[in-house]
Structure 1
Amino acid sequence: MIETTYQTLRSHPFLAGLSDRQLDRLSMWGYTTIFHRDSRLFAEGGRADRFWLVDDGHVRLSTTVPGRGEVVVETLGPGTVIGWSWLFPPYRWQFTGTAEDMVHAVALDGPGVRELCAADPALGYELMRRFTAVIAERLLYTRARLLAAESESVETEPAA
């Protein structure tokens, strides 16, 4: 059975607890999408104008580190939200997102959702609260990865 965008939004953990009216209004800005393995959802520095609620599959977030090239920051799977750069000017992606395998997701139009949030402050507050939690969680995860990478590099350095 094929789900509508509304049904997919209603069952997604990121949106759990939103009212039917809020989900209905959000669904007007969304569409289902599929990415094949190794397809790029977005590129670091590019225009950020949407976000995705992953229903199935995995997306690798990476960034370019001078002298090291592309470094994987995190891999996200079903039930996650991908993309928060659409929320903050200058609306540029902070990472690159690439499909690890076949990804099924709902894409939501960033400018449309920002407009909806401005017209419905209760929805805007709730989405901002949820995205802020995602950002904080990803920063903590990234910090832990950086600390682990630093300790690995210290352990592999030759003794003086």
Structure 2
Amino acid sequence: METHKLEEIIAQDPFFFGLNGAFCRTIAGCGKQMRFEKGQYIYRQGDAADRFYIVRHGHVALELSAMGKPHVFQTLHDGDVLNATWIVPPYRCFSNARAVGPTILIAFDAACLRGKCDDDHDLGYDLMKRFIPVVVERLNHARLQSLDVYGAGSDN
């Protein structure tokens, strides 16, 4: 996918809504489109968070391993952001991400974008404001799912 087309997609994406044109160009320069088939892992827990993604078409299950089995704690859909830990040291994936069906993602090279953020702190600050709520939301989903799976605790 050419950078100009990717720039247009970024500018129209709800997650990046309101981002200035120069930032859209910068981000597009670090991105590419990727396709995953049903059941294919996009990344696994513990992997380096070397990319983040926007789901263009399809569904992605976020899983945590418990008792040797993966448990889905959230399913992402078109327009959702995937792997927000690219921006938070130590840059490791905290869950598995698996395509539920054929899925098209826009993948952004994390090292490329972290470098751009280091060079332009305004870009870094804007992205941090967009990604921190995603990180908090995912932690909340995982917490609620674990309460559902393991119970709310003892009745003291």
- TM-score normalised by length of structure 1: 0.87
User: Which position in structure 2 is the counterpart of 1:72?
Assistant: 72
What SS class does the counterpart of residue 94 from structure 1 fall into? coil
Q: Which residue in the other structure is 2:129 paired with?
A: 129
Question: Could you list the runs of 5+ residues in structure 2 that have no partner in the other structure?
Answer: none
Residue in structure 1 matched with residue 19 of structure 2 by the alignment: 18
Q: Distance in 1 between matches of 2:117 and 2:33?
A: 21
Counterpart position of 2:147: 147
> Alignment partner of 1:149: what SS?
helix
Instruction: Return the alpha-carbon distance in structure 2 between the equivalents of residues 81 and 112 of structure 1.
Output: 18
CA-atom RMSD in angstroms: 2.0
Shift of 1:97: 0.6
Tell me whether 9-18 or 139-148 shows the greater mean CA deviation: 139-148
Measure, in 2, the Cα distance between the counterparts of 1:121 and 1:132: 16
- Give the AA of the match of 1:91: Y
Contact 1:56/1:104 (<8 A) preserved: yes
The structure 1 segments of at least 4 consecutive aligned residues displaced by more than 3 Å after TM superposition are 150-154
Instruction: Rate the CA distance shift 1:47–1:151 in 2: closer, same or farther, 3 A.
Output: closer
Say if 2:59 and 2:101, in contact at 8 Å, map to a contact too: yes
Distance of 1:152 and 1:118 partners within structure 2: 42
Within 1, Cα distance between the matches of 2:17 and 2:84? 18
Alpha-carbon distance change, 145 to 24 in structure 1, aligned in 2, over 3 angstroms = same
Quote the Cα distance in structure 2 between the aligned partners of 1:87 and 1:134.
11
Which stretch shows the higher mean deviation, 21-30 or 133-142?
A: 133-142
Identity of matched residues, %: 30
Q: Tell me how far apart the structure 2 counterparts of residues 96 and 88 of structure 1 sit (CA, whole Å).
A: 17
Between Structure 1 and Structure 2, whose CA radius of gyration is higher? 1
Deviation at 1:152, TM superposition (A): 8.6
Q: Contact 2:63–2:72 at 8 Å: present in 1 too?
A: yes
Displacement of 1:68 in angstroms is 4.8
Partner residue of 2:43? 42
Q: How far does the alpha carbon of each residue in 1:67-96 deviate from its partner, in whole angstroms, 9 at most, with x for none?
A: 252111211011110002222333221111
Aligned residue-pair number: 152
Quick check: 2:85–2:135 contact (8 Å CA) kept in 1? no
Tell whether the 8 Å contact from 1:57 to 1:101 is kept in structure 2 after alignment. yes
In the alignment, does 2:6 pair up with 1:5?
yes
- Bigger shift: residues 5-14 or 26-35: 5-14
Gaps of 5+ in 1: 155-160
Q: Is the 8 A contact 2:53 2:107 kept in 1?
A: yes
